[in-house]
Amino acid sequence: MTYDSNNIFAKILRGDIPCQKIHENDYGLAFYDIHPKAPIHALVIPKNAYENFEDFCHNAKPEEVLGFLACITKVTELLKINTSGYRLMSNCGEGAGQEVPHFHVHLLSGK
């Protein structure tokens, strides 16, 4: 796997382009999806360079995985969807329709 450091989420992480930030910690950054597919549509990405879920699972250090999961659960609290419910999904690979080659999870709620 070769990570493309010019992908749009890498640019957001570098601060080259803006995002509508919800939360960040040492390992993750969460922001609103630019084309929401539900009333609440957030994206959570790891701060380090992983192409997709497989890459993250095989190569991230345990503290990165835990920190990333903590970022997700903080977002569900902040958006108050931890009690109402939400869908968490990730497209892995072009065959699944992954458009941005930096690992991300979608958090969808409200519909």
Question: What is the amino acid identity at position 94?
Answer: E
Could you tell me which of 86, 76, 66 has the C-alpha nearest to residue 30? 76
Active site residues: 104
From the CB of 6, what's the least distance to ligand AMP, in Å? 13
Q: Does 88 bind ligand AMP (CB under 6 A)?
A: no
Looking at 10, 13, 19, 45, which residue binds ligand AMP (CB under 6 A)? 19
C-beta separation of 28 from 46 below 8 A = yes
Can you tell me which of 6, 15, 35, 58 binds ligand AMP, judged by CB under 6 A? 35
Smallest distance, ligand AMP to C-beta of residue 8, A: 5
Q: Which of 48, 37, 40 is nearest to 91 (CA)?
A: 37
